[in-house]
């Protein structure tokens, strides 16, 4: 009981991260057994910035290991974030704050998106990169959104 309360408390203090919605995918390599290798396009809304949606494209490994969730996906990813409505902040923004994280191997590798606020240029900057427990990857992609007034529809 004490352990369950501790786990529940830990989950409550973890920051809320966005979850991705798959928009589509294309097959890149045919596999005789298991799913094909593919590129997946996903979308997620920034949990602390209303009016911003980010789109990620990334490789997903197929085959038997990929089908079972045991394969390690490649580190490459692309990101494009866009203003999709009026921008409203739902709390204080911290530079380098993680807004999205997804496992890309069974245990040791993750892909994550962090956000920065460039106050001088009034712009939100999003960075996607992959890290590994032992050795990360310098491969990354960045996108920026100027914070602009949103024209209301009449």
List b or e across 123-146, with b for residues whose CB sees 16 or more CB atoms inside 10 angstroms. ebbbbbbbbeeeeeeeeebebebe
Asked if 53 and 43 touch (Cβ cutoff 8 Å), the reply is yes
- Checking if the pLDDT of 11 tops 50, the result is no
pLDDT 10s digits, 44-62: 999 999 999 999 988 876 6
pLDDT 10s digits, 46-104: 999 999 999 998 887 665 555 555 555 566 788 999 999 999 999 999 999 999 887 65
pTM for the whole structure: 0.74
Burial of 109 (0-12, 13-18, 19+ CB in 10 A): buried
Cα of 95 vs its chain's centroid, Å: 16
The alpha helices in the chain, defined as continuous H runs, are 2-13, 63-68
pLDDT of residue 63: 57
């Amino acid at each position: 009981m004490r352990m369950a309360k501790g786990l529940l408390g830990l989950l409550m203090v973890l920051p809320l991260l966005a979850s991705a919605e798959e928009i589509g995918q294309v097959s890149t390599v045919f596999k005789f057994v298991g799913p094909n290798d593919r590129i997946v396009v996903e979308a997620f809304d920034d949990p602390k910035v209303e009016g911003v949606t980010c789109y990620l494209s990334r490789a997903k490994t197929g085959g038997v290991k990929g089908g079972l969730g045991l394969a390690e996906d490649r580190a490459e990813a692309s990101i494009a974030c866009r203003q999709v409505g009026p921008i409203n902040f739902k709390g204080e923004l911290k530079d380098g704050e993680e807004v999205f994280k997804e496992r890309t191997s069974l245990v040791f590798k993750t892909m994550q998106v962090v956000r920065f606020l460039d106050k001088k240029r009034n712009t939100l900057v999003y960075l996607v990169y992959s890290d590994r427990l032992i050795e990360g990857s310098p491969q990354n992609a960045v996108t920026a959104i100027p914070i602009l007034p949103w024209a209301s529809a009449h």
